């Protein structure tokens, strides 16, 4: 009986550890921000990727928040600054270039919610 249990546990561990894992392809933010918040999310893109997508929303209650997406060459391909009580819906597509894409935000005495993501 004990050997059957050990065998079943062994088989279960093999099945669990051999399951195919998919790489994470979504990067970004899904959180509240406060008056001194800032964030940086970096996504690595290889040569096979055709497009990079930026999507989500930002809701600001007070103050300001600035959001910027830079490509691997360091050029800002998307920048927006929101002020008091503004809401933003984003659904943008960019031609991909290989390297590290950076999505960042900085709050300037702002409070609200940021739900903004990158993927390919």
- For the stretch 48-107, pLDDT in tens is 999 999 999 999 999 999 999 999 999 999 999 999 988 999 999 999 999 999 999 999
Report the phi/psi class of residue 93: left, alpha or beta, with left for phi > 0 and alpha for psi in -120 to 50: beta
DSSP 74: S
Q: 10 in helix, strand or coil? A: helix
25-119 has which fold? Jelly Rolls (2.60.120)
> 3 or 34: whose pLDDT is higher?
34
Give the start-end residues of each E strand in 1-120. 26-33, 38-45, 51-70, 76-83, 87-95, 99-119
> 89 or 25: whose pLDDT is higher?
89
Q: Are 29 and 114 in contact (CB under 8 A)?
A: yes
Distance CA 120, CA 10 (A): 37
Distance CA 100, CA 88 (A): 25
Domain residue spans of the chain: 25-119
């Amino acid at each position: 009986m004990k050997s059957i249990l050990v065998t079943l546990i062994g088989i279960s561990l093999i099945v669990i550890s051999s399951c195919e894992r998919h790489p994470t392809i979504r990067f970004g933010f899904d959180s509240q921000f406060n008056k001194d918040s800032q964030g940086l999310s970096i996504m690595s893109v290889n040569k096979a990727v055709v497009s990079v997508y930026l999507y989500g929303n930002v809701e600001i209650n007070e103050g300001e928040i600035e959001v910027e997406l830079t490509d691997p060459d360091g050029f800002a391909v998307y920048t927006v600054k929101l002020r008091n009580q503004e809401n933003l819906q984003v659904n943008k597509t960019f031609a991909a270039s290989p390297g590290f894409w950076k999505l960042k935000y900085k709050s300037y005495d702002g409070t609200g919610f940021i739900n903004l993501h990158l993927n390919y």
